[in-house]
Amino acid sequence: MPELIPEERAREAGAKLDQAASVADPKELADYDAILFGTPARFGNMSAQMRNFLDQTGGLWMSGALIGKVGGVFASTASQHGGQETTLTSFHTTLLHHGMVIVGVPYSCPGLLDVSAVSGGTPYGATTLAGGDGSRTPSENELAIARFQGRHVAEIAQRLFG
C-alpha cells in the first residue's frame, strides 16, 4: 500500500519504507479468484493505508466484481493483546459487503491449539506478534498457520472455480 503520511514522519516513527514490494492496485482485485489481504493492526483496526486501499474499491462494489470470490485476512500486531481478532473481523465486514466468501483458519490447523509458546493465530486468520518496534519475526508456529491459511484459501478457490 502507498504510505499516507509524509516520508519524514514515517521514518521518525520507524516505518519500514524501503521494502521491495510492488504497490497494489485496487482495480486488479477483479482479476483474481482468491485474495488474501494482510494488514498491521492499528488500535484494533486495519491500518489507514489498507482502509484507504479498500475505500478505492467502490467501483468494484457497484459492479459486483468481487461477488463470490474467496477472501481471507492475516494481520500483525505489536503485542499479544493488540487487537488481532477485532482487526480481522472488522476487515471481514468490507469483504462481506463485496459479497466475498470469507475463508479463515479452521481448527483442523494444529497450530491454533499449540499453547507451548506465545503465538499469534486465530480462526479468523493468521496473525503474528511483531513487537512494538516491529523487530519480532513470525514464529515457526505462526508461519505454519499462515501457510495453512494460504493452502486452505487455494483449496477452497479450486473447489469453487476449478
Range of the domain at 57: 31-161
Residue 69 in any domain: the answer is yes
Tens digit of pLDDT for each residue in 78-116? 998 999 999 999 999 999 999 999 999 999 999 999 999
Higher pLDDT, residue 145 or 15: 145
- For residue 104, give Cα distances in angstroms to 37, 101, 122: 12, 10, 8
C-alpha cell at 141: 508456529
What residues contact residue 18 under an 8 Å CB cut-off, 6+ apart?
none
Residue 11 in any domain: the answer is no
Tens digit of pLDDT for each residue in 28-76? 999 999 999 999 999 999 999 999 999 999 999 999 999 999 999 999 9
Residue 5 in any domain: the answer is no
Query: Looking at residue 35, which CATH number applies to its domain?
Result: 3.40.50.360
pLDDT in the model for residue 24: 87
Give kind and range of the element (H or E) at residue 38.
Answer: strand 34-42
pLDDT in the model for residue 8: 84
